Amino acid sequence: MKSKVYIETFGCQMNVADTERAATGLRKAGYELTSMAGEADVVLLNTCSVRERAERKVFRRIGEIRKLTTTTRKSKPLIGVMGCVAQLEGESIFRNAPAVDLVIGTRATDRIPSMIQRARGGEASVIDLDERQEGEEWNVSPAERRSPYIAFVPIIEGCNKFCSFCIVPYSRGREKSRNAAEIVDEVSRLHSLGYKEVHLIGQNVNSYRPKSQEGLEAYQGATSFSRLLRAVAETGMDRIKFTTSFPRDFHPDIVSAIEEYPNLCDWVHLPAQSGSNRILKAMRRGHTREDYLRRVNGIKTSKRRLALTSDIIVGFPGETREDFEDTMRLVRECEYDQIYMFKYSKRAGTPAAQLDDEVPESEKTARFIELEDLQISIQKMIYESYVGRRVSALVERQSARSENDMMGHTTCNKVVNFRPDGAQAGDVVEVLVSEAKPNSLYGTLAATAGTGV
């Protein structure tokens, strides 16, 4: 009987992609994947360390898994920690969580089967924090994808930016870009298999710089990333999204590429983090407020209506009321479709963790609420502007709000709920928006624009 493996994933899209890749390798090695932790012979937790709370959650989950498997099984399963917490904490995980047998770094995904064999062979505390090895490819089986219609396609991993608050360069390593021809081939295969949407993902997708231009020779563009966008668009994939973009590397030619290809979606995620030049400098973001606004202006004045989303941190060490007001002014000026807001969370090992003048937690909370209230008012105005308009949506699943409705995402990455009227998951449909909710749209099916498989 095949050994069963359960993988639980925390964190960002890169972690989801890593889980898909790990599952592909495990199944190829003869393991069976299960959705039940209690019946698994191997339990893997793919972890996130961007915020301290996420890291603490992992250790609580290890205890829960150990208790669950103790009560449901006669023999103890192997327990492994993957991902960013594994890369950062290393051998200390074995001391802090004695139930753990495997510590698997962010670039050891393809070596999990051999690590399991080592543990089963009697080796204690198996750990691998090394780089990817020559010949390890980015293969993901369609059977392991989270959706049969939408696929994450990593194009770059790691980060060279070293923002003072961020742990990612330490957990994910330096930037490494995939070969363009390999990416284009993967998207072409996905298109032939009936996928309707791909997300080109990475810590900073627009920092994409492959070692060679193989696969991009036929495409114009001011940067390797804008040339890659054109190459991927030429595959005929229905919808192409990308995230996350780094402001300093956001070239105007990216907007030009979007304008040229209808299948490049109407959405840009461009994290600002702060509207204060003083705080941006302390964050080591490498751009000023003025630099950022120039890029936003290029997005806002595009020939197409592009949705703009962002990340904002409030309460960074030393942030004064004036600094916060600069952020509020930036948000008013940019009129974001959505913001992912965070109260500053100290991460040990980052330069910001050494900064004095910590903003009191009560003040962080007050500023967070004030920014949230502002964004709610802006978002309400933007969402209401879609009422009476048609939007293209990829049908994904039954709506969480009603068993009579289906939900999908628009090309501008907004959630839309609607009565299906025969539409099924995987269809690309047009929805006439009749109502704007705080974080979603609602409407009626207007016409089928394409059919899913």
Q: Which of 8-12, 40-44, 66-70 is predicted least confidently?
A: 66-70
pLDDT at residue 423 above 60? yes
Question: In degrees rounded to 5, what are phi and psi of residue 18?
Answer: -65, -40
Beta bridge partners, 409, equal 394, 415
Q: What pLDDT sits at residue 57?
A: 82
Confidence of residue 292 (pLDDT cuts 50, 70, 90): very high
User: Given pLDDT bands bounded at 50, 70 and 90, which one contains residue 70?
Assistant: low
Co-location of 313 and 419 in the same domain? no
Helix, strand, or coil here: 449?
strand
* pLDDT given at position 69: 66
Q: Is the pLDDT of residue 384 over 90?
A: yes
Helix residue ranges per DSSP H, 29-146: 52-72, 83-89, 92-96, 112-120
Residues 166, 293: one domain?
Answer: yes
The pLDDT tens digits of the residues spanning 178-197 come to 999 999 999 999 999 999 99
**Average pLDDT for residues 81-106, to the nearest whole number?**
94
Same domain, 204 and 349: yes
pLDDT digit string, tens, across residues 16-39: 999 999 999 999 999 999 999 888
Where residue 424 sits, what CATH number does that domain have? 2.40.50.140
Residue 405 and residue 374 share a domain: no
Mean pLDDT of 56-67: 84
In a domain? residue 147:
yes
Q: How confident is the model at residue 447 (pLDDT cuts 50, 70, 90)?
A: low
Same-domain check for residues 83 and 223? no
In a domain, 138, yes or no: no
Partners of 398 in the β-ladder: 406
For residue 136, being part of any structural domain is answered with no
Q: Please check whether residue 135 lies inside any domain of the structure.
A: no
336 inside domain: yes
Task: State whether 261 and 336 are in the same domain.
Answer: yes
The string of pLDDT tens digits covering residues 108-134 is: 999 999 999 999 999 999 999 999 888
Residues 6+ apart with CB under 8 A from 23: 5, 7, 33, 141, 144
- Number of Cβ within 10 Å of residue 122's Cβ equals 6
Average pLDDT rounded to a whole number, residues 220-228: 97
Q: In this predicted structure, which of 133-142, 336-345, 352-361 has the lowest mean pLDDT?
A: 133-142
Domain containing 59 — which CATH number? 3.40.50.12160
End position of a domain, from candidates 384, 401, 420: 384
Q: Which of 384, 400, 434 delimits the end of a domain?
A: 384
Instruction: Specify the DSSP element, H or E, that contains 329.
Output: helix 321-334
Across the chain, mean pLDDT equals: 93
Query: Looking at residue 62, what is its pLDDT?
Result: 87
Q: What's 323's DSSP letter?
A: H
- Considering the domain architecture, whether residues 228 and 372 belong to the same structural domain is answered as yes
Q: Band the pLDDT of 107: cuts 50, 70, 90.
A: very high
215 and 185 in a common domain: yes
CB 174 within 8 A of CB 224: no
DSSP letter assigned to residue 143: G
Q: In the predicted model, is pLDDT for residue 227 greater than 50? A: yes
Cα angle 400, 241, 394 (rounded to 5 degrees) comes to 40
Domain check: are 431 and 374 in the same one?
Answer: no
**Which residues lie closer than 8 Å to 148 by C-beta, 6 or more apart?**
142, 194, 195, 426, 453
Predicted TM-score (pTM) of this structure: 0.92
**Do residues 303 and 407 share a domain?**
no
308 or 137, greater pLDDT: 308
pLDDT at residue 451 in the model: 35
Picking from 128, 151, 184, the residue at the C-terminal end of a domain is 128
Asked, for residue 41, whether it belongs to a domain, the answer is yes
Q: Which domain holds residue 11?
A: 4-128
Asked whether residue 256 is assigned to any structural domain, the reply reads yes
> What would the mean pLDDT of 391-407 be, rounded to a whole number?
93
Q: Cα dihedral sign for 42, 48, 53, 55?
A: positive
Q: In terms of domains, do 80 and 181 share one?
A: no
Residue 54 in any domain: the answer is: yes
Q: Residue 219: which CATH number?
A: 3.80.30.20
- Could you tell me if 43 and 177 lie in one domain? no
pLDDT of res. 136: 82
| Residues 312-334: tens digit of each pLDDT | 999 999 999 999 999 999 999 99
Can you give the pLDDT at residue 238?
Answer: 97
Q: Give the pLDDT band of residue 260 (cuts 50, 70, 90).
A: very high
Q: Count up the domains in the chain and report the number.
A: 3
Q: Which helix (H) or strand (E) holds 447?
A: strand 441-450
The answer to whether residue 453 scores a pLDDT higher than 80 is no
- Position 133, amino acid: Q
